[in-house]
Structure 1
Amino acid sequence: MKTIKNTSYRYYVAALMMMMSVTSCQEFLDINDDPNFAAQASNVQLMPAAQGSYVLALSSMIERASATMVQHYINGRFDNWGFNGSSYDNQWQTIYAGALTDFAVIIDQAEANGELHYAGAAKIQKAYIYSVLVDLFGDVPFSEANGSEINPKVDMGSEIYPQIIALIDEGITDLNGESTVALSSGDLIYGGDVADWIRMANTLKLKMYNQMRLVNSSTASTAIDALLSEGNLISSASENFTFRFTTSNAPEGRHPNFQADWAAGSLENNLSSFMISKMTTSSDPRLRYYFYRQNSGSALLGVNGGEGSTPGDDNVRAIHGIYPVGGAFDDGSFLIHNETLGLQGAGIFPMITYTNRLFIEAEAALMLGTSGDPRALLQAAVNSSFAEVAGFAGVAMDATATSTYMTNVLTAYDASTTDEERLAVIINEKYVAMFGNGIESYNDYRRTGYPTGLNLPVVQNGPYPNKFPIPPVEVTANENIEPTTDLTAKVFWDLN
C-alpha cells in the first residue's frame, strides 16, 4: 500500500452503514418508486465493504490457523491439528456472503455502466480470494457461487485456477480501458491507483504459476518468464498489496491480533518455540520487531502445540510485537501490554509484497531456470524484508546485525551442493520474512517441505492437515458439500 494514499478502515464501517440505510428503506421503495432514492448501493460504497470483509476474514481466524500449521505462532483452536473448521465459520460466511457477493454486484453494475476500473479491481480481488480458497481448501464452490443457485456445486481446484488467471486477465483489460468513473478513495488498498492494481494482478499471476510449478513445470516456466519480461510487477514496498488497519476501537478497526494480544484481557496467541528458536539461533535482527517482552524476566520462550500458556502469565510472557500487528517495538522498556502502547493496533495484513515477489523469483530461477540469479534474488529478498519491517515500524534496523545475518545466509547458500539444499535456504528465509501471513508459509511448506523440523503437538488429534476442512456452516447449508473427512488429501498443486 502506498502510505500517501492510505485510507482509513472507517470507510468500511461507513459503507456498511450506508448499505444498511439502503436496505432499511427497500420495503418503502417497493411501494413508493421514488427516483430520489437509490435501490442499490453504489460501487463506491460496495468496494470498501467488500475489501474490509475479505481482509478481516483472512487476517483473523484463517491466518491464525495457517500460522499455527507452520508454527509462526500458536493458536489454541488449531494447535492439535484436529480442528473441523467451526472456528472460521464466520470467516467463510463473510467471504462468500459478504465480499464475493459484493464483488459480483460491483462487476455487474460496473459493466452495465461502463465503470471499467471498478470492474477490473473487483475481478482481480475476486481472483485473489479464490486463489486463497483453493490453496487452503482445495475444491470449493466457484462456478455457481454468488448467483441464484442455493446449493452451488463444488468445483475442482485444478479447474478453478485457470479460470482465476483468465479472470485476472479480464481485470487487467478493464483497468487498461476507458472508465466512466474513476476508482475513488473508497478503495482501501490502493486509493484508486489503477497502475498499482495492474502490478498487483501480474504479481498474483506470478505467485500462482510458481505455486503450480510441480504440476506443469514447462507452462509455469514460460508464463513466469513472460511476466518477468513484461516487468509490470510489484517493484517496491510502496506498491505492496497490503491492508493497513487503524487505531480506532469504536468502531473497531485495529489489527485482529492486536485486539487478541494487546487489547484483550486474556491473550489468545502464544509464541512458537520453533519460530523463537529459529530466530534467536540465527541472531535475526527482526526479532524485536516481531515479538515484545513485557518484563525483564520474560525470556522469549515459546510453546509447542497443545502446551498452552501458564495460567496467570498474561502480563509476563512475550507477545506479538510491532510488526505486523501494530503493537510495540521491544526497546527494553518491558511494559505490560495495553492498547495505548506502540502503534495501538495500526498494523498491516501483508497479502502480496515486493519481498514475496523476490522470493518467488528466487525459487523459480533455481527450480525452473527462469530468468534471474537465484542467489542475488535471495539476497535482495532478505534485504527487502529488513527494509519493509523497519520501514513499517519506523525504527532503524542495526546495520551490523543485518550485514552479519546476510553474510550467514549467503554462506549457507554457497555451501549447498544441490538445488534442493539451495531451495531449503530460500524457503527457510522466506518463512521468517512471511511472518504475518501464515497462509503463504503454509502453502510453501506443503509445496516444498520447508522449513523442516516443525515441532509435533503434545497431543495430536489427527494427522497433519494438508488442507483445511470446509466449515460446518457450509456443510449444513449446502447439500452439495460433504464433510471433509480426509485432511491428508492434498490440493491439486501439492505434489511434494
Structure 2
Amino acid sequence: MKNLFKYISIVFIAGALLNSCETTDLDLRVSPNDLASDQADPNLLLTSVQLAYGTNQQALSDISAELTRIDYMFGRNYFNNYPGSDLNGTWGRTYSSNGNGVGDGVSIGILTNLQNLEALNEDPEVDLGFHVAVAKTLYAHSLIQLVDFVGAAAFSEAGNPAEFPAPNLDSGEEVYAAALGLLDEAESLFAADPNTIGAVDIFYNEDISKWEKLVNTIRLKAYYTTGNVAAFNQVIAGNNFISDPADDFFLQYGTSELQPDNRHPDFAADYTPSGANIYQSNWIMELMLNNDDPRIRYYFYRQVDATPGADAPPSEEDLACSLAVPPQHYIDGGFTYCSVPNGYWGRSHGNNEGTPPDNFKRAAVGVYPAGGRFDDSSFGEVGLGLGGGGAGIEPIFMSSYVDFWRGMMASSDADRANFMRSGLVKSIATVQTFGALDSGADQTTAPTPDDVSDYIDGIVADFNAATGDAKENIYAEQYFTTLYGGATEAWVYYRLTGFPTTLLPNWEAQPGPFPRTLLYPQNEVVTNAGLTQKETLTEQVFWDTNPASPTFPPAN
C-alpha cells in the first residue's frame, strides 16, 4: 500500500479540474463549475471514490467503537449523543457530494463518480473496467454499511435525480442483495484482467488479485452478518479471500502536517503542542492490562506512570471522579468507575465531566494504528512529529478479523478456539511491526516471542475451560481488542450476539435504550420529502432478530 504523499497532490488537481474552468461562452450546456462525465479524467474520478470511501471508514469506525467501549463515548444519553447530523457526511460521500477528508479537495460522492466512470467506459475504445470494478466494490460495501448503521439505504432510485428527486429507501434485505449483485459485477470486471491505465490505487497499488480477495471478503462479511453459513463456507472453500496479513485492506496515512495534513486523525488530535485531546476507553485499557495483553504498549502511550484514584492520590483538579462515590449500578456490577492503574488514564463510558488540564497526563494513542509513540515506560509527553509522526493506518478488513468471523461461523468450540488463536497470532504480529515506526523508543521493553505465545496459549486455555457466557465473553473480548482502531464491525457483532456482557455500563443508570440503528442523516430528511425522521434509536436492522431494547443488549 502507498503513502498518501503521492495522491494528495492528485486530489487538489482533481478538485481544480472537477470544480472550475474558464470560458467566455455564455450559452453553455454544461455548468462551468461541474465538468461533464465525458470531460473528466477517470483516474481522478477513481481517486475521489477511494478518498470518499476511506473517510467514511474513519467516521463509521469511530461511532461503532464508542458504542462498544473500544473508544470512549462522551455523554450519558444515547439519543442525545447520536443526532441526525452524525451521518450527513457519510451519506453524502456515498451518494452525491461531501468533503473527502484528506484535503477535502474533491467533493463528489462515490455513486456519482461511479456513474461517470460507467459513462466513460461506454466508449468502445476505452477500457475502464478496473476503475469501474473498484468503484463498484467500494460502493457495494458502503451500501451494506449504511444498512448496518441506519437500517435502510437508497439504491433502486438513487443517482437519478431527474426521475427520482426524492428517492425512496430500499429495505435492508433489498440493499444487501443489491450490494452482492454489485460485487458479482465487480468480480466479472476484475476477471477480465483490465488495464489500469495510470490509475492511482491508494489501497492495493493496482493489484487486481488483491481486489478479487476483497470482493470475496465483503461477501464473507455479508454472509456472517446474515447467518448464511452455506454461502459463507462456499466462499471459504474457494480460498480467495483476505486470509494473510499481506492482503490486509487498510488506508495508509503519511506524516505531512500542513498543506495537506495527511497524518492519522487520532495522531493529529493527540500529538499537539498542547498535549493529547482524546480520552481512551477505560474498559479496553483495563481489560488489556488485566490480561497482560502484548498489544497494550502499541495501542496506548502513557504520559505518566500512575492514575489518580488508582495508584496515585485522588485529584479533583485532574480527575474529579477519583473523589466520587460510584453510582449503585457500578457498585453492584463491580465495575471500575473512574481510574485504571499504571498510568492508563482514560474515561469510562458516558462520562460527561468537563475537561481538566490533563492533556500531558492522560493516555494518548500509541504507535498502532495511529503512528504515535511506542510505550517503552519512559513516560514522556506527546508532541508534534513524535513516534511514527502519524504514519499509521485505518484498518478496514484485516486477515485477523476474518479469522474471528470464521470462528463465529464454526460448527464446534474446538474450531472456534483455533480460529481465535489464528486471529490473535496475525493481529499481534501485525501490531508489533508498527513498533519500528518509533525509532527513538526502547524496544527492549517490547513483548518477547515467549510473552506472545504465553498470552495466546493462556487465552485459548481459558476459552476451552470456560462454559456459557464466560466462553462467549472471552471470544468477544478478544475480537473487540483485535478490532481496536478499525472497529466498524464491533457494533454489528454486539447487536448480533449481545457479547461481551463485561462492557462497562453507561455512567447514567438510565441512559435510554441502547442504539440498534442511528437516525437517518438529517440533510437527507430535510431535502427528501418522502423521508420521515425516526423518533427513536430502537429500530432494528433486518439481521438483528434479538429482543427489543432496552432489555438487549444486557451491558447497558
Question: TM-score w.r.t. structure 2 length?
Answer: 0.80
- Cα displacement (A) at 1:375: 2.1
State the structure with more CA Rg. 2
Within a 5 Å distance, the mapping from 1:225-304 to structure 2 comes to 225-249=233-257, 250-263=259-272, 265=274, 267-297=276-306, 299-304=343-348
In the alignment, residue 477 of structure 2 is paired with which amino acid? Answer: N
Q: Counterparts of 1:256 and 1:366 in 2: how far apart (Å)?
A: 40
- Cα displacement (A) at 1:196: 0.3
Cα 1:421–1:224, aligned 2, differ >3 Å: closer, same or farther?
A: farther
Name the structure 2 match of 1:134: 147
Q: Counterparts of 1:423 and 1:297 in 2: how far apart (Å)?
A: 32
Q: Secondary structure at the match of 1:373?
A: helix
Q: Confirm whether residue 356 of structure 1 aligns to residue 365 of structure 2.
A: no
Name the structure 1 match of 2:13: 17
- Cα displacement (A) at 1:206: 0.9
Cα 1:116–1:412, aligned 2, differ >3 Å: closer, same or farther?
A: same
Name the structure 1 match of 2:69: 71
- Cα displacement (A) at 1:103: 2.5
Name the structure 2 match of 1:465: 515
Name the structure 2 match of 1:199: 213
Cα 1:38–1:64, aligned 2, differ >3 Å: closer, same or farther?
A: closer
In the alignment, residue 52 of structure 1 is paired with which amino acid? Answer: L
Q: Secondary structure at the match of 2:250?
A: strand
Name the structure 1 match of 2:529: 479
Name the structure 1 match of 2:183: 168
Within a 5 Å distance, the mapping from 1:365-444 to structure 2 comes to 365-366=410-411, 373-394=415-436, 397-417=447-467, 422-444=471-493
Q: Secondary structure at the match of 1:270?
A: coil
Q: Is the 8 A contact 2:276 2:360 kept in 1?
A: no
Cα 1:95–1:77, aligned 2, differ >3 Å: closer, same or farther?
A: farther
Q: Secondary structure at the match of 2:388?
A: coil
Name the structure 1 match of 2:368: 323
Q: Is the 8 A contact 1:470 1:483 kept in 2?
A: yes
In the alignment, residue 423 of structure 2 is paired with which amino acid? Answer: A
- Cα displacement (A) at 1:193: 0.6
Cα 1:81–1:317, aligned 2, differ >3 Å: closer, same or farther?
A: farther
Q: In terms of mean alpha carbon deviation, does 251-260 or 421-430 score higher? A: 421-430
Q: Is the 8 A contact 1:363 1:426 kept in 2?
A: no
CA-to-partner distance for each residue in 1:82-141, whole Å, 9 max, x for gaps?
A: 221324433432333223322332233235433212111111111111111111111122
Q: Counterparts of 2:75 and 2:8 in 1: how far apart (Å)?
A: 28
Q: Confirm whether residue 222 of structure 1 aligns to residue 222 of structure 2.
A: no
- Cα displacement (A) at 1:12: 4.1
Q: Is the 8 A contact 2:72 2:282 kept in 1?
A: no
Within a 5 Å distance, the mapping from 1:181-192 to structure 2 comes to 181-182=195-196, 184=198, 186-192=200-206
Unaligned runs of 5+ in 2: 30-35, 98-108, 308-342, 437-442, 547-556
Q: Confirm whether residue 208 of structure 1 aligns to residue 222 of structure 2.
A: yes
Q: Secondary structure at the match of 2:394?
A: strand
Q: Is the 8 A contact 1:362 1:426 kept in 2?
A: no
CA-to-partner distance for each residue in 1:51-110, whole Å, 9 max, x for gaps?
A: 112212321x43222111001121437975522132443343233322332233223323
Q: Is the 8 A contact 2:38 2:120 kept in 1?
A: no
CA-to-partner distance for each residue in 1:127-156, whole Å, 9 max, x for gaps?
A: 111111111111122222223232211111
CA-to-partner distance for each residue in 1:271-315, whole Å, 9 max, x for gaps?
A: 112111211111111111111111334510331212446511011
Q: Counterparts of 1:146 and 1:38 in 2: how far apart (Å)?
A: 14
Q: Secondary structure at the match of 1:73?
A: coil
- Cα displacement (A) at 1:15: 2.8
Q: Confirm whether residue 117 of structure 1 aligns to residue 130 of structure 2.
A: yes
- Cα displacement (A) at 1:485: 1.4
Q: Counterparts of 1:119 and 1:390 in 2: how far apart (Å)?
A: 36
Q: Confirm whether residue 150 of structure 1 aligns to residue 165 of structure 2.
A: yes
Cα 1:132–1:264, aligned 2, differ >3 Å: closer, same or farther?
A: farther
- Cα displacement (A) at 1:402: 1.3
Q: Counterparts of 1:264 and 1:185 in 2: how far apart (Å)?
A: 38
Across the aligned residues of Structure 1 and Structure 2, the Cα RMSD in angstroms comes to 2.6
Q: Secondary structure at the match of 1:74?
A: coil
- Cα displacement (A) at 1:439: 1.3
In the alignment, residue 70 of structure 2 is paired with which amino acid? Answer: H
In the alignment, residue 520 of structure 2 is paired with which amino acid? Answer: I
In the alignment, residue 342 of structure 1 is paired with which amino acid? Answer: G
Higher helix share: 1
Q: Which of 101, 107, 129 is 2:118 aligned to? A: 107
Q: Counterparts of 1:472 and 1:27 in 2: how far apart (Å)?
A: 37
- Cα displacement (A) at 1:22: 4.3
Name the structure 1 match of 2:382: 337
Q: Counterparts of 1:440 and 1:252 in 2: how far apart (Å)?
A: 27
Q: Secondary structure at the match of 1:94?
A: helix
Q: Counterparts of 2:37 and 2:149 in 1: how far apart (Å)?
A: 38
CA-to-partner distance for each residue in 1:368-390, whole Å, 9 max, x for gaps?
A: x9xx9322211111111101111
Name the structure 2 match of 1:445: 494
Q: Is the 8 A contact 1:274 1:454 kept in 2?
A: yes
Q: Secondary structure at the match of 1:263?
A: coil
Q: Counterparts of 1:236 and 1:483 in 2: how far apart (Å)?
A: 42
Task: Give the % identical residues.
Answer: 28
Q: Is the 8 A contact 1:356 1:430 kept in 2?
A: yes
Q: Secondary structure at the match of 1:366?
A: coil
Aligned length: 478
- Cα displacement (A) at 1:434: 0.4
Q: Counterparts of 2:151 and 2:140 in 1: how far apart (Å)?
A: 15
Cα 1:38–1:307, aligned 2, differ >3 Å: closer, same or farther?
A: closer
Name the structure 2 match of 1:217: none
Q: Secondary structure at the match of 1:365?
A: coil
- Cα displacement (A) at 1:38: 9.1
Question: TM-score w.r.t. structure 1 length?
Answer: 0.89
